[in-house]
Chains A and B, each alone.
Chain A
Amino acid sequence: DAGVIQSPRHEVTEMGQEVTLRCKPISGHNSLFWYRQTMMRGLELLIYFNNNVPIDDSGMPEDRFSAKMPNASFSTLKIQPSEPRDSAVYFCASSPGQGDEKLFFGSGTQLSVL
């Protein structure tokens, strides 16, 4: 199994630009999570999908952030417009679901907004 695949690994963009992060979960996993990690705030949950449906998006900072999961094998996290304070490592993780929430993380996307 290839594990959770995220792209891009690194993204450098200018303030105001749109940023799209991509994630392919492990096949057969029913739950998908987007987390953001910074030194100041640690690992923060942004949004949680179960069976492709957003269940909890209370961690999404504001309307500039949006996430979709059009099918079981693909999810995107979009920031529009991006701001310097969005600079962080963004992780996607999947789990088998049905109460078994052992998370498998992707390699992360290092986002730098200048």
Chain B
Amino acid sequence: QKEVEQNSGPLSVPEGAIASLNCTYSDRGSQSFFWYRQYSGKSPELIMFIYSNGDKEDGRFTAQLNKASQYVSLLIRDSQPSDSATYLCAVQLSGGSYIPTFGRGTSLIVHP
């Protein structure tokens, strides 16, 4: 079964630090990778996507993709308490399916 794995956390970091969230996937042919942020009691919201190996930066967020090692990560620089949320990794698998498969999410806590 094709899977997307994340450490459930919680990951606790001090305000101003870099938070590093990791995700591994089993389907080597996966093409598209997404990060969603979900605040408690709210719906997931897309914050980053990446298709090619390497880094992609958007403000304080950087997505990193390594297809050879089958992992994708999300770095949050200068973490703020407002970044405290659950971060869901989603992978669009190969084989023509357009259905993203979600990991269970990592809970991030940024403390002042």
Contacts and interface: CB of A to CB of B under 8 A. Distances in A.
B82 interface: no
A94 interface: no
- Categorize the interface residue count of chain B: 20 to 34
Interface string A31-60: 101010000001101001010000010000
Interface string B83-108: 00000101010000111111111000
Contacts of B92: 101
B28 to A, nearest CB: 19
A101 B101 CA distance: 11
- Categorize the interface residue count of chain A: 20 to 34
B10 interface: no
Q: Is the interface of B mostly helix, strand, loop or mixed?
A: strand
A104 interface: yes
Contacts of B49: 102
A48 to B, nearest CB: 5
Given A42-B103, A42-B104, A105 B44 contact: yes
A43 B46 contact: no
A104 B46 contact: yes
Interface string B25-50: 00000001010100000111110010
A21 B97 CA distance: 25
Nearest to B104: A42
Q: Which of B32, B92, B100, B103 has the most CB of A within 10 A?
A: B100
A43 B100 CA distance: 11
A105 B47 CA distance: 13
13 contacts: A42-B103, A43-B44, A48-B99, A50-B98, A91-B43, A97-B98, A99-B98, A101-B99, A101-B100, A104-B46, A105-B44, A107-B43, A108-B43
